[in-house]
Chains A and B, each alone.
Chain A
Amino acid sequence: MTDSNNVVWLGAPSFPDAAREALADTQLRTNLRKATGTIRDKRLAVTAELDDWEQLRTAGKALKRRTLRHLDHHLVRLEEAVTKAGGQVHWAADAAEANRIVTALVKATGQTEVVKVKSMVTQEIALNEALAEEGVSAYETDLAELIVQLGDDRPSHILVPAIHRNRAEIRDIFRREMGKWGRPAPEGLTDRPRDLAEAARLHLREKFLRAKVAVSGANFAAADTGTVGVVESEGNGRMCLTLPETLITVMGIEKVLPSFEDLEVFLQLLPRSSTGERMNPYTSMWTGTTEGDGPQDFHLVLLDNGRTATLKDTVGRQALACIRCSACLNVCPVYERTGGHAYGSVYPGPIGAVLTPQLVGVEHAESLPFASTLCGACYDACPVKINIPEVLVHLRAEVVEAKRAKGRVPTPEALVMKAAASVLSSPVKLSAVQRLAHPAARLVSRRGTIGNLPGPLGRWTRTRDTAVPPKESLRAWWRRTRGGREGSK
């Protein structure tokens, strides 16, 4: 944790320690298994509807790559377009600066309350805490975020942040806490999801109707038109984006897209990958301000906070293409068992394991690159084809390198990790090594599982048994059977 960066939770235990604790929590594991399994199935069904899904993914990846390679150019265009449309653009180098800007903007309105639509980036900069220090209350309005906020808790999933809570816990939180923040929970509130949603509707409505200032994130912003967009389901986003007089949107600089037309790719990729729907219930897009409709003051805060450092790494920069769909979380065997809290970061799961260490510096999140089995499921699921395993291995090498520089790790290990990084970046070398590696892994295994591995891998294997790699690598099997098609005839 550095002064200027709040991505990692202060005092969070390292991943293996947190994971060990999470693994003992059967309720959590049951909730997670059900949730990730359900979303996974829905996603597969709706992506299968599009026979050009692979072409869409390739286009999404290429568009993000195009944007990142000329990020300065697109940001300057975005700034111009937003300004021309009546908005104001602010630049923030780090979390502290972004918080200062937002706080000053809120204070200038004379208000002491803001309503918020769910936003990863404002969690990343710990905006709510910063506002509270200045006497401004920030109300989360997404149902799951409300549950997290009222429960004085942390989000555990990108899409469904309160997935670790069951309905009885949610009812208890509502009964206990709602009255402290505004309209109390109705008498005799049951734990039926319909009743709980209704309680949230009533509790939040009074806040929406009186709110003068709203804070949002952004799913994208088109540089050519200056159009900013938010996708959501509940309508709390529309409330925040439409009813208040002042709207402050905080956006990571990587969210810009070259043109409005490019949305044709992302509005197909995002909902289908995220909630497994053909389209999410509500998508709001606005360009600056519109007289007589919606906020008359619009501010767009462009945030760096470690993103330019990530951009510098030619292997790691692909993580900035992430559209936060959470598909990689739902397919990850590690996430499914540990839940999001174990990652100790605003960004959990496979994407968190590559993004967090890059945003904060590997030395501040050195266990995260090891929080993966490198099974590759995340890469296959990712709508913008981020090669998460490749970045993980690359970062592992960096962690080992950093430790070696401090004299904490013997050199041979550093060499092994470096070799692994080079191998994983080359498909030819990878399959060669897979053929070699498997007999070796089977030798160290006992009773079908691999026990403790030496070195940095030990930090992961100590918390759990890793399944023994099959005798034949997936690639070899695929080559032999063409994905099982030949074998099954």
Chain B
Amino acid sequence: MTTRDTVLGRIRAALADVPASEGPDDVPVPRDYRRSHAEPDAVAQFAARVADYRATVTRTTDADARVTVAARLAARGLRTLVVPDGFPAGLLPEGGGWTVLRDEPPLSVAELDAAEGVLTTAALGIAVTGTIVLDAGPGQGRRALTLLPDYHLCVVREDQIAGDVPEALGRVDARAPLTWISGPSATSDIELDRVEGVHGPRTLDVIVVGGE
């Protein structure tokens, strides 16, 4: 007998009190909780909640998006910037003092570690929790790209902002590798003093694009 059989056998024996006629879906789950706690202006709420994590949030229009990206990058004084495949060409500023690194062929861990920043899009934002959801889609790259460089600039479009967690889960593909980011890396392990930045990027910059 395999351990699998042993464990499954133990479970079935332990559940002798559950009637054989009861199916897994017969056990009711009251779902009268709200689908969303979002405020009417979900975009403003998203921006405010991201800022609560001590991330920087800039709102801008489609027309000004590229200039805003350039300004944020220039403010950092970056020398090397990772830009994943599929990042919209129209948003990528030309010139600037930085070298753009492409992940094609894949950058080594050492190259990523040496890069100072990364510029990506996102799959979604969540207003109530101030979360950015990455699903490795176009413009986001594989997970390591947003992890090793110390600075992450993320561009989110207003129409990508979901109100709340239930809606966000309904909009992502569960099978994609998912990273939900709510503010920069942080720890409170030493006397509960919050310190931003341990292993992930120490600075998270978000640009919300849309409207006029």
* Chain A residues proximal to chain B, CB less than 8 Å: 31, 34-35, 38-39, 49-52, 55-56, 58-59, 62-63, 65-66, 69-76, 85, 91-93, 97, 141-144, 147, 160-163, 166-167, 170, 193-194, 196-197, 200-201, 204-205, 208-209, 222, 225, 227, 233-236, 238-239, 241-243, 253, 258, 260-261, 263-265, 267-268, 275, 277-287, 290, 292-294, 302, 304, 308-309, 311-312, 314, 317
**In the assembly, what is the distance between CA of A208 and CA of B165, in Å?**
31
B10 touches A264 (CB 8 A): no
**Given A93-B6, A208-B199, A311-B11: A162 in contact with B27 (beta carbons within 8 A):** no
Is B8 interfacial (CB 8 A cutoff)? yes
Is B79 interfacial (CB 8 A cutoff)? no
**Looking at chain B, what size class is its interface with the partner chain?**
35 or more
A327 to chain B, nearest CB (A): 15
**In the assembly, what is the distance between CA of A225 and CA of B10, in Å?**
25
Interface stretch (choices B32-40, B58-66, B70-78, B94-102): B32-40
**Given A91-B4, A238-B147, A286-B178: A308 in contact with B190 (beta carbons within 8 A):** no
Is B107 interfacial (CB 8 A cutoff)? no
* Chain B residues proximal to chain A, CB less than 8 Å: 2-4, 6-8, 10-15, 17-18, 22-24, 27-34, 37, 49, 52-53, 106, 109-110, 113, 126, 128-131, 136, 142-144, 147, 165-166, 169-170, 174-193, 195, 197-201
B158 to chain A, nearest CB (A): 20
- Among B23, B182, B199, the residue within 8 A (CB) of A201 is B199
A153 to chain B, nearest CB (A): 13
A58 touches B17 (CB 8 A): no
B177 touches A238 (CB 8 A): no
B195 touches A197 (CB 8 A): yes
- Where chain B touches its partner, the secondary structure class is loop
Q: Please indicate which of the listed interface residues B6, B110, B130, B187 has the most CB atoms of chain A within 10 Å of its own CB.
A: B187
Q: List 22 A-B contacts (CB under 8 A).
A: A59-B29, A71-B11, A73-B24, A91-B4, A160-B189, A193-B191, A194-B195, A196-B190, A233-B188, A242-B144, A261-B170, A279-B182, A281-B182, A283-B182, A284-B143, A284-B179, A285-B177, A292-B106, A292-B142, A293-B177, A308-B11, A309-B10
User: For residue A293, which residues in chain B have a CB less than 8 angstroms away from its CB?
Assistant: 136, 142-144, 177
User: For residue B191, which residues in chain A have a CB less than 8 angstroms away from its CB?
Assistant: 31, 34-35, 166-167, 193
User: For residue A314, which residues in chain B have a CB less than 8 angstroms away from its CB?
Assistant: 17
Residue of A nearest to B193 (CB): A193
A235 touches B200 (CB 8 A): yes
B186 touches A281 (CB 8 A): yes
A425 to chain B, nearest CB (A): 15
**In the assembly, what is the distance between CA of A275 and CA of B189, in Å?**
11
**In the assembly, what is the distance between CA of A97 and CA of B6, in Å?**
13
**In the assembly, what is the distance between CA of A425 and CA of B141, in Å?**
54
Residue of B nearest to A262 (CB): B29
B190 touches A197 (CB 8 A): yes
- Where chain A touches its partner, the secondary structure class is helix
Q: Please indicate which of the listed interface residues B7, B34, B129 has the most CB atoms of chain A within 10 Å of its own CB.
A: B7
B31 touches A142 (CB 8 A): no
- Among B175, B182, B186, B190, the residue within 8 A (CB) of A167 is B190
- Among A161, A242, A302, the residue within 8 A (CB) of B7 is A302
Q: A160-B189, A278-B182, A294-B144 are in contact. List 15 more A-B contacts (CB 8 A).
A: A35-B192, A52-B32, A59-B30, A62-B30, A69-B18, A75-B7, A91-B6, A166-B191, A233-B198, A243-B147, A264-B165, A281-B182, A302-B7, A308-B14, A312-B13
